[in-house]
Chain A
């Protein structure tokens, strides 16, 4: 069944120009951000120059093994919005073209339909992870002096965490797509939620609860590297990972419920 669903999603996605444009844009922007990572780091620190804090201006430090894994995953997580947009478009197209109805009357169950979209999210997460892995290896191998295998794998944990983060973000996008059904509305909501709503809500919660808000959990999976933010410890709490897994289950459950309860 998984192979069939994968085939179906592949056929839908591979011929869709918008996905190619967004995919290529994502690829180019990840590469550009990697190249300009030093400038990005400086920009982060520009507003908080404090006495006693030594900000290194050596570009290569960020791109040496093992720091490169944290650097690249953190930087490229800023581009999740592009992948999220792809997921929202993929879901909303099914409603606007009414192809979800055709798929269901042709024999796909609503649950299988949801699985096919989960597979789409998984594939996008896999693509993003492989891209970061490849870029990290290439750039790290070029830049790192006194290269050892231990250095390469020292902060390897950021790769699966990045994968989880991307998947969680895309599952949130999937749920938003299912709830809004119109691509423009869904994408706008994702933007507004990520950049505005959660910040506003957080403003009223001066406790650790805010760390468990949906986007906070997503961000918490890949903390800012210590050379980006002076107080960052670059340590991912187990509670954040647990919260991410709970959110994954919750998003899947709600998506299933929305599909199951609604007339198509």
Chain B
């Protein structure tokens, strides 16, 4: 009984929210989305990373019903009828698209009407994004940062459990970027599923738990960001007797690279070689380690490496 309950909790935690299968999209004869498949679990902060023109916005456009795919399929697993799925998702695609001659509040009222949400909640949302004072101001009088924050407020109408941001910091100055990132982090902390498409690595690394790297519409890499970044098995080691440590490391068969970096020795383990075996080996040799750090590859390195391997 206890085991079943745990399984049920696990299933709920890992519930799939979106499954994309073999999506293809052509513009004229150019294939812009090429057999793309991925899935997103509930509660993921999922980053879609790729260079400009890699197909991020097109993919999201297809998933949101504004673009048609030529083949493949996708399915949202959200409660309620399929017709209302988009009403349960908050979306900010690139620059926010609002009526310039309407006030911030009126623009949000239109979105609230579409989603069948009462207007009373809008004041709080405008406050959440720091636009309470400017709610009567016309959208065309807003700065880019304010427009982006209004776009974020619009995504939160109806308290959706899934939020999609496509290049949310595009064109913003440093302060604007920081403020939008802070908002996204606040939203992520509420346990919502977030899909964030960006070409800015820093943005993805700071916010996302999982990433999908695409290039020319094709999947290059997908996985948990922490798992992907430790893939190289680069470890920093130091012991009281550094010479003895170095001697044993040279003798170890699964080390690809060994170099000294100041007070530590840096090793790169061969692919498929585990650190646990090395640790046992050193303990067996009576080497007492006082410094062990598994180095992470930077996202930038991983990104560039993946793209170059893909080419």
Contacts and interface: CB of A to CB of B under 8 A. Distances in A.
Contact of B91 (A11, A12, A106): A106
A16 B115 contact: no
A107 B87 contact: yes
Contact of B109 (A11, A17, A99, A105): A11
A7 B112 CA distance: 11
Given A98-B97, A263-B61, A103 B114 contact: yes
A10 to B, nearest CB: 10
A16 B84 CA distance: 29
Given A97-B97, A97-B100, A8 B113 contact: yes
B115 A101 contact: no
B292 interface: no
Contacts of A233: none
Contact of B101 (A8, A16, A102, A105): A16
A71 B98 CA distance: 43
Interface in A221-264: 261, 263-264
Nearest to B94: A98
A105 B91 contact: yes
A146 interface: no
Contacts of A104: 64-66, 86
B18 interface: no
A7 B113 contact: yes
Contacts of A261: 68
A106 B97 contact: no
Binding site secondary structure of chain A:
helix
Interface in A84-99: 93, 97-99
Interface residues of B, number: 31
Interface in B104-121: 106, 109-111, 113-116
B252 interface: no
Interface string B213-238: 00000000000000000000000000
B250 interface: no
B66 A11 contact: no
Contacts of A103: 110, 114
Interface in B42-97: 61, 64-68, 83-84, 86-87, 89, 91, 93, 96-97
Contacts of A102: 93, 96-98, 111, 154
A107 B89 CA distance: 8
B281 interface: no
Given A97-B99, A101-B66, A263-B68, A106 B114 contact: yes
Interface of A: 4, 7-8, 11-12, 15-17, 93, 97-99, 101-109, 261, 263-264
6 closest Cβ pairs, A-B complex: A107-B87, A98-B97, A102-B97, A264-B66, A107-B86, A105-B91
Given A15-B103, A105-B65, 20 more contacts: A11-B102, A11-B113, A12-B99, A12-B110, A93-B99, A97-B99, A99-B97, A99-B99, A101-B97, A102-B96, A102-B97, A104-B65, A104-B66, A105-B66, A105-B91, A105-B93, A106-B87, A106-B154, A263-B61, A264-B61
Interface of B: 61, 64-68, 83-84, 86-87, 89, 91, 93, 96-103, 106, 109-111, 113-116, 154, 157
